[in-house]
Each structure stands twice: as C-alpha cells, then as structure tokens.
Amino acid sequence: MKTEIESVWKGNLQFESHIDGHRVLTDVPTEYGGDNAGPSPKKLMLSALAGCTGVDVAMILKKMRVEIDDLVVKVEAEQSEETPSQYTSMHLIYEFSGKDLDTDKLKKAIELSHDKYCGVSMMYKSFLNITWEIVC
C-alpha cells in the first residue's frame, strides 16, 4: 500500500503539508532563519509517536473496560550534537487520571501499543531506544 502527502513551499523556510485533507504548517525557529510560524519537522516526529501510541492506548483501555478521565502523552527526546542532529532516544510519559486505575491494565495497554500496534513506535525502535513510564 502506498501513502502520499504533499508539501508546498510557502516562502522562507515554511512548508505546508497536505495530509488527508488537513494542512500542517512547518517552519524553523528564528535563530535558524525561519519565522517560527509552525513546529519544526523533526519535532513532529515526537508528535507522531505520542499520537500513535496515545490512540492505541485509549482504544485498548476502552476494550479492557478501563475508564480514564484523561490521558496525556509526553515525549522527551535526546539528540546528537553533530550535524545532522538526530534523535538518539525517546522517553514517553503516560499521565493518566481517573478513579481506581488498574496500573497493570495501563501497563498492558502501553506494552501492546509499543510491541504490536503502533507503527511509529516500531519504526523508531529500529534506530533509537524508546522507554516509557506511567504517572497516575
């Protein structure tokens, strides 16, 4: 199966990506010559991981009949100093809120996401270390 997007130069260092009818504007900070009009393309890699695993975890917990009030997925990344700078590791923090949360089920849902369902996690694990933790 083939997937396609289109990115159109909008001037200076900005690009507008068209993804399934949605527009995402990327740019770089002013200290690198951009206008800071949108997130950097590399930081969107963090968002892709958080979004992918977040969707999985929410769906799995729903199937497990685990009710949560809120879920926040934070991603912390380490990157190399040399050019081109690359992410070398990512650490995810899953922040759950709700009543009587079963941490074993939360852990199982996260493990299933990372080991079976999240394609972004699977791709990233091939070239960097991914760790995670739960905060309730």
Cα 20 to Cα 23: distance, rounded to the nearest angstrom: 8
CA distances from 106 to 33, 60, 71, 100, 114 (A): 43, 9, 11, 12, 13
* 86 shares a domain with 106: yes
**pLDDT classification of 108: cutoffs 50, 70, 90:** very high
Q: How far apart are CA 40 and CA 26, in angstroms?
A: 6
Mean predicted confidence (pLDDT) in 82-105: 96
Dihedral (Cα; 131, 112, 114, 22), 10-degree rounding:
-130
Q: What are the φ/ψ torsions at residue 99 (nearest 5 degrees)?
A: -90, 140
Residues 64 and 26 occupy one common structural domain:
no
Please compute the mean of the pLDDT values over residues 94-99 and round it to a whole number: 97
Distance separating the N- and C-terminal Cα atoms of the chain: 39
Question: Model pTM greater than 0.85?
Answer: yes
Query: Are 27 and 51 in a shared domain?
Result: no
Regarding whether 118 and 79 lie in a shared domain, the answer is yes
Could you tell me if 73 and 122 lie in one domain? yes
3-state SS record for the chain: CCCCCEEEEEECCEEEEEECCEEEEECCCHHHCCCCCCCCHHHHHHHHHHHHHHHHHHHHHHHCCCCCCEEEEEEEEEECCCCCCCEEEEEEEEEEECCCCCHHHHHHHHHHHHHHHCHHHHHHHCCCEEEEEEEC
114-134 per-position pLDDT tens digit: 999 999 999 999 999 999 999
pLDDT digits (tens, 9 = 90+) for 4-36: 999 999 999 999 999 999 999 999 999 999 999
Please tell me the total count of domains within the chain: 2
User: What residues make up the domain containing 7?
Assistant: 1-39
Residues 56 and 18 in one domain: no
> Span 68-77, mean pLDDT?
98
Same-domain pairing of 29 and 55: no
Whether residue 66 sits in one domain with residue 5: no
Q: What is the mean pLDDT of residues 102-118?
A: 97
Q: What is the mean pLDDT of residues 62-83?
A: 97
